[in-house]
């Protein structure tokens, strides 16, 4: 017996012989047999199965191909491909995808129009304008915060000795500066390097 796979029709079934491939009795065959019968690779038969063109059935020996339906489905697939029916399915799918894309584009254009209308109506302001407002606010806030220690020292100077008032002022100034420095560092980290005053 030679090393090539031999297939012959015997009494309505198939008999096969190969030193590495054995076929079950009946009309159920392994992927290697179907690949040889179709003249394609085993991987191609597996791809046809994954694509739903042909299918396997569960047998006591494992997943196998039922020869009759497998051949008929493969022939129908090749026929559809030859006559362009497969192309029509692809064209239909592409048209559907194109329509979906057009609908999504129209929706996004509608949202963009609504946003532009809201901006024109003054419901939104530019990022630059917000940054300038925050910058002005923090300059004023910094001046206010830095003036707190001297104001407190001036208020308590009539109640405590000048040395104690000066000590309180220095402690408060150090604490305010430390808090402002931490605030600026946190603002730069959260803002990813934005201006912090």
Mean pLDDT of the chain: 80
115-138 pLDDT, tens digit per residue, is 888 888 888 888 888 888 888 888
Share of the chain above pLDDT 90, in %: 36
Given this model, what pLDDT does residue 88 score? 66
How far is it, in rounded angstroms, from Cα 97 to Cα 92?
9
pLDDT at residue 3 above 80?
no
- Nearest in space to 180 (alpha carbons), one of 134, 145, 135: 145
How far is it, in rounded angstroms, from Cα 63 to Cα 50?
13
pLDDT at residue 45 above 70?
yes
- Nearest in space to 176 (alpha carbons), one of 150, 140, 137: 150
The whole model's pTM is what? 0.35
Q: How many CA atoms lie within 13 A of 28 on its CB side?
A: 12
Least confident of 28-32, 34-38, 70-74, 132-136: 132-136
CB 68 within 8 A of CB 27: yes
Q: Is 122 exposed, middle or buried (0-12, 13-18, 19+ CB in 10 A)?
A: exposed
CB 46 within 8 A of CB 18: no
What SS3 class is residue 62? strand
Q: Which residue has the higher pLDDT, 25 or 50?
A: 50
59-70 pLDDT, tens digit per residue, is 998 999 999 999
């Amino acid at each position: 017996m030679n090393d090539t796979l031999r297939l012959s029709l015997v009494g309505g079934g198939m008999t096969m012989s190969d030193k590495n491939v054995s076929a079950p009795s009946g009309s159920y065959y392994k992927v290697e047999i179907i690949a040889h019968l179709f003249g394609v690779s085993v991987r191609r038969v597996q791809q046809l199965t994954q694509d739903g063109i042909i299918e396997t059935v569960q047998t006591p020996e494992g997943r196998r191909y039922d020869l009759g339906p497998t051949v008929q489905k493969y022939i129908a697939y090749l026929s559809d491909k030859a006559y362009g029916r497969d192309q029509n399915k692809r064209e239909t799918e592409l048209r559907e995808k194109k329509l979906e894309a057009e609908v999504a584009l129209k929706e996004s254009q509608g949202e963009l129009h609504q946003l532009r209308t809201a901006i024109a109506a003054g419901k939104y302001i530019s990022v630059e304008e917000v940054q300038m407002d925050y910058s002005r606010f923090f300059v004023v806030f910094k001046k206010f915060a830095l003036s707190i220690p001297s104001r407190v020292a001036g208020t308590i100077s009539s109640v405590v000795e000048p040395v104690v008032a000066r000590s309180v002022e220095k402690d408060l100034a150090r604490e305010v500066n430390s808090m402002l420095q931490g605030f600026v560092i946190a603002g730069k980290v959260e803002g990813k390097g934005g201006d912090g005053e």
